[in-house]
Structure 1
């Protein structure tokens, strides 16, 4: 297949490109900067320079491909609403270019806001009405119009050395406050997946013709947040203590959230079997804490 990948230089996107290329697929990767172009080329992509605001460019790339994997998203949380709207416009434009064809689209979303405390989300669960990102709802709207569209929900921690996501944020908060903290009893759970395990979910879904509307890229179903804090505290030599949500600032919504999820249906439908280290063992190595 010829696959168009947005965010081809990103933490997840570059791994998707490498995995596609390792399995014989041709990849056109979107990159918005010189640095991004270098990363995407090193991963094995042909590079298309542009941004998510270049809607006609996105549409032409989609028309010229057998499938589209949309991993790009601006994670600047100070302007999250604008970035979510940009994401939706890009998905809608790509979907319009694919409408009436057999070409496939996979978008990327998350697991926040899926279930109540003590429960694990599965692929049939749907985000609550206050979920701030439109990726999945945009894909569902396209599917209702006959577009072959699906969603990969990523675990809150897509980990691995070089990670710059949620766990490094927690490490930064621990360093700045002198405490590796958790909320309440720390029993809320996070799913986790190594980025090298997440990437094949996208490829397998396309190769198998999108057998499901939603896929869970989750290897660890639910790691107690307190256990994450304990590993961080041990590695940094800091006390591990319970704190009120305000301790985490803008990150409080995630620190206290239940973001656990199963991936049973995804594994069965795709034959996906994670092989990389789990979240806690991956975090328990000095390389994660290099200043």
Structure 2
């Protein structure tokens, strides 16, 4: 079985690729450079050099594969345009085949969940800059009518392997010595370990019904206050305290919005339908005793 993965060298995409390799799949992946291609070859992954703008290439790769997993996203002003065109090209390459296409979305399209725990049946309320992501989800799900086994996965806060938003926040905190939470810090986020997430992709690829939507979240919640306390300890910041939203915007920019909201997400549908169960260290344990401890050894 051949699976094609976009974003194969990314934080999530690489973990997904390793998961599929461990299950005996032939994995190919989209990469930008020859250097990254050579690294993938050493790991048993067949590289395809290109990017999301190479629409003909994407269509060819999806047509040649037995299934496709889309984890790539461009972090520039063309993010929306590139994703829309790339997904259109890949769906066209899969149309009429019955093959699987897994699309990566995110739980931020729920907006602030306040004190409610939301699931896949809950309405999404994306802010304007995320409206396109909700539209992409619906396009992918309705493509089931084109004889494509479509699946959408919405990861919550992804952690593990010393990376992701947690890793980036540790590095920024070390640099700025700014380790503060917004308001009382009692707003909470659901979490998912990157390897548990990769396992979910594999389970969804194998067991999901066409037109399925899954939140990727463990049963663990962490408040932003507790998260910043743990990050502050690793980063060597002595005082972790509250700040106003305006102060957070000054330091964090648009990311302050995410730090101020709740993301209380249920992942029970995936547990019930996909024979999947998250089993990794909690986010706190991973910071106290796991992969993020390596950052504490970096000279300040």
Q: TM-score, normalised by structure 1?
A: 0.90
Q: How does 1:242-253 map to 2 (within 5 A)?
A: 242-245=242-245, 246-247=247-248, 248-250=251-253, 251-253=255-257
3-state SS in 2 of match to 1:12? helix
Decide whether the 8 Å contact of 1:5 with 1:27 is kept in 2.
yes
Q: Distance in 1 between matches of 2:167 and 2:34?
A: 25
Q: Does 1:188 align with 2:187?
A: yes
In structure 1, the partner of 2:72 is 72
How far apart are residue 151 of structure 1 and its match? 1.1
In structure 2, the partner of 1:103 is 99
How far apart are residue 212 of structure 1 and its match? 5.9
Q: Distance in 2 between matches of 1:24 and 1:126?
A: 38
**Residues 274 and 49 of structure 1: is their aligned pair in 2 closer, same or farther, counting only changes over 3 Å?**
same
The Cα offsets for residues 235-275 of structure 1, whole Å up to 9 and x where unpaired, read as 32421100112324212011112122111011111111112
Query: What root-mean-square deviation, in Å, do the aligned CA atoms of Structure 1 and Structure 2 show?
Result: 2.0
Q: Does 1:144 align with 2:142?
A: yes
How far apart are residue 38 of structure 1 and its match? 3.5
Q: Distance in 2 between matches of 1:61 and 1:231?
A: 43
Decide whether the 8 Å contact of 2:140 with 2:152 is kept in 1.
no
Q: Does 1:268 align with 2:272?
A: yes
User: What stretches of structure 2 of length at least 5 have no aligned partner?
Assistant: none
Please point out which of 108, 126, 130 is paired with 2:127: 130
In structure 2, the partner of 1:59 is 59
3-state SS in 2 of match to 1:53? coil
Q: Distance in 2 between matches of 1:183 and 1:153?
A: 25
Decide whether the 8 Å contact of 2:109 with 2:133 is kept in 1.
no
Q: Distance in 2 between matches of 1:124 and 1:21?
A: 33
How far apart are residue 195 of structure 1 and its match? 1.1
Decide whether the 8 Å contact of 1:154 with 1:216 is kept in 2.
yes
Q: Distance in 2 between matches of 1:189 and 1:50?
A: 38
Number of aligned pairs? 285
Q: Does 1:289 align with 2:293?
A: no
The Cα offsets for residues 47-67 of structure 1, whole Å up to 9 and x where unpaired, read as 111100001110111111121
Decide whether the 8 Å contact of 1:91 with 1:135 is kept in 2.
no
* Runs of at least 4 residues off by over 4 Å: none
Q: Does 1:82 align with 2:78?
A: yes
The Cα offsets for residues 66-108 of structure 1, whole Å up to 9 and x where unpaired, read as 211001112x3xx3x4212211211111112212220111111
Q: Distance in 1 between matches of 2:24 and 2:8?
A: 17
Q: Does 1:169 align with 2:168?
A: yes
Q: Distance in 2 between matches of 1:29 and 1:177?
A: 36
3-state SS in 2 of match to 1:223? strand
How far apart are residue 123 of structure 1 and its match? 2.0
Decide whether the 8 Å contact of 2:67 with 2:101 is kept in 1.
yes
Q: Distance in 2 between matches of 1:7 and 1:177?
A: 30
Q: TM-score, normalised by structure 2?
A: 0.87
Q: Does 1:29 align with 2:33?
A: no
**Residues 221 and 131 of structure 1: is their aligned pair in 2 closer, same or farther, counting only changes over 3 Å?**
farther
**Residues 240 and 257 of structure 1: is their aligned pair in 2 closer, same or farther, counting only changes over 3 Å?**
same
User: What stretches of structure 1 of length at least 5 have no aligned partner?
Assistant: none
Decide whether the 8 Å contact of 1:30 with 1:50 is kept in 2.
yes
Decide whether the 8 Å contact of 2:191 with 2:283 is kept in 1.
yes
In structure 2, the partner of 1:3 is 3
